[in-house]
A and B are shown apart, each in its own frame.
Chain A
Amino acid sequence: MLPLSSRRYGAINWIGLGTLYGKEVRRFWSVATQTVLAPLVTGLLFLAVFVLALGHRVDQIGGQPYVDFLVPGLIMMTIAQNAFANTSSSLMIAKVQGNIVDLLMPPLNALELTIGVAGGGVTRGVVVGLTTGIAMMVFVPIDIAHPGFVIFHAVAASLLMALLGILTGIWAEKFDHLAAITNFIVTPLSFLSGTFYSTTRLPELWQTVAHLNPFFYMIDGFRYGFIGHADAPVWTGVIVMCGVDAVLLVIAHRWFQRGYRLKA
């Protein structure tokens, strides 16, 4: 008979990490109507509204018809909002309901926690982006010029937003705080960072401001993957995304490690 003892594992607790990730994915998948279908319908509505309202009035942007320009922006907007919503709501609900201890007690270290929770957000972002893209393809033809950029930016942007969601979920004490960050920061940034128009249309000063905004690079780079046209140098976008992801990862890791607003 084997003596009872604590379970042993190597440098990484793979079972724990896999379980946490699986839980995060099942959390949104079990209510897929709300978490996948709803953003898809909203994305299609925006597409209809902007094409019907602006299709004839807005000139081609960078030699592309407005629809071609709009579609990648809308997909990215959907990805960003959903990756953020997944992680932020997961932590927020766990804190409000008091079952956050179930996350903190298991033998998972701060890095495994960060990756497990963020992984769920990335998965939701990518799944929602993919389904929205396919649905839009039914109505408008979509070409992909550089698949590598599409995949990189979909994943990098999902990770960025998932990590931002983790930080918000840890920091927020009430649903109001979460709603405030969503309404006053995430939605405005995802609307105003070039989703619906080219930043070259902005006045000089605002162009400079726009280029300091990571949201701009994720939309711009993602769009480059589709239409082969970008407002900013594409490799700058890749570097910015990697840099911001790394910084957020470090902060999220630190917060989990210290137990900031999580442990008594």
Chain B
Amino acid sequence: MPSVRLGIRRFGAINGLGLATLMKREASRGLKDYNYQLLGPAVTALLYLAVFRLALHNDATGQVLINFIAPGVIIFSACEKAYESAAGSFIFDKHEKIIADMLMAPLTPFERMVAYVGADCLGGLAVGVAVAAVSLVFAELGAAHPWAILVFGLLGMMFHSLVGLLVGIWAEKWDQFSAIHTFLLVPLSFLSGVFYPIEALPAAFQHAMQWNPLYHAIAGFRYGMSGTEAGEPMIHVLVLVGVNLVLAGWAYRWFRSGYKLKP
């Protein structure tokens, strides 16, 4: 007779093992095919910088603009990755009907959400580091306020990952996935200062930008790298934390109710 009795596996308030397993699965599927999952964003970022480098004069003013753009491109690429892995894995799993594997596991809605967001942020981080490395070809990068790089990088990726979770749960087709990306997320980041200071915008738009969470993420992240201040960093943090909490609450509700996930 085996000395161990079969029974339900027991764990404390949080199923740490389950959470780590789901996170590991999600993070590794996001980076499995590094060929285009890391190299792709890196090449695209390099292209953006190259285009600006070539369009600008090769002098000090040109370099200033490149140094301004690079942090924007880094956080933009990292955030895009977080959105893609979150939404992508849900839509894929729903189509392949393997979403049940995740729903059957003894994980609470909260644990599921944390595991997905954590894994998406890790994927985003990998892309961010890769893009930062290739950016060095054209730009001079700094770390004026390391805490801000970390905090804003994380908050920006969390925002994208949570939007990705919501889209992934809601969407039934890949069209919806790309529609949110093309018509919502990319315009929000492109128009909120990835490539230019918002002072370049007409006054009315500058004001509207304050309502765009991505403006706060990009401005804060750039403050972390180059020390250029655009607005009050603490305001940026508060806005992002607030938005992320709302989205997390929303995602939690959907995970709990099984909206579009359970029959």
Contacts and interface: CB of A to CB of B under 8 A. Distances in A.
> Chain B interface mostly helix, strand, loop or mixed?
helix
Given A31-B175, A49-B196, A183 B40 contact: yes
A57 B178 contact: no
Interface string A28-49: 0001011000100110010011
A195 B52 CA distance: 11
Interface string B175-191: 10011001100110011
Contacts of B194: 49
Contacts of A58: 55-56
A50 B52 CA distance: 9
A52 B205 CA distance: 13
Contacts of B57: 57
Interface in B16-70: 33, 35-36, 39-40, 43-44, 47, 50-52, 54-57, 61-62, 65, 69
B201 interface: yes
Contacts of A49: 190-191, 194-196
Interface stretch (A15-23, A153-161, A196-204): A196-204
Contacts of B104: none
Nearest to A44: B187
A205 interface: no
A188 B47 CA distance: 7
A255 interface: no
A182 to B, nearest CB: 9
B186 A42 contact: yes
A53 interface: yes
A179 B36 contact: yes
A176 B33 contact: yes
A52 B195 contact: yes
B179 A192 contact: no
Contact of B56 (A57, A188, A202): A57
Contact of A191 (B47, B175, B190): B47
A197 B39 CA distance: 25
A38 B35 CA distance: 26
Given A48-B190, A49-B190, A52-B200, A41 B183 contact: yes
Interface of A: 31, 33-34, 38, 41-42, 45, 48-50, 52-54, 57-58, 176, 179-180, 183-184, 187-188, 191-192, 195-197, 201-202
Given A176-B33, A179-B40, 19 more contacts: A34-B178, A45-B186, A45-B190, A49-B191, A49-B196, A53-B200, A57-B65, A176-B35, A179-B36, A183-B36, A183-B39, A183-B40, A184-B43, A187-B47, A192-B47, A197-B54, A197-B55, A201-B54, A201-B55
Interface of B: 33, 35-36, 39-40, 43-44, 47, 50-52, 54-57, 61-62, 65, 69, 175, 178-179, 182-183, 186-187, 190-191, 194-196, 200-201
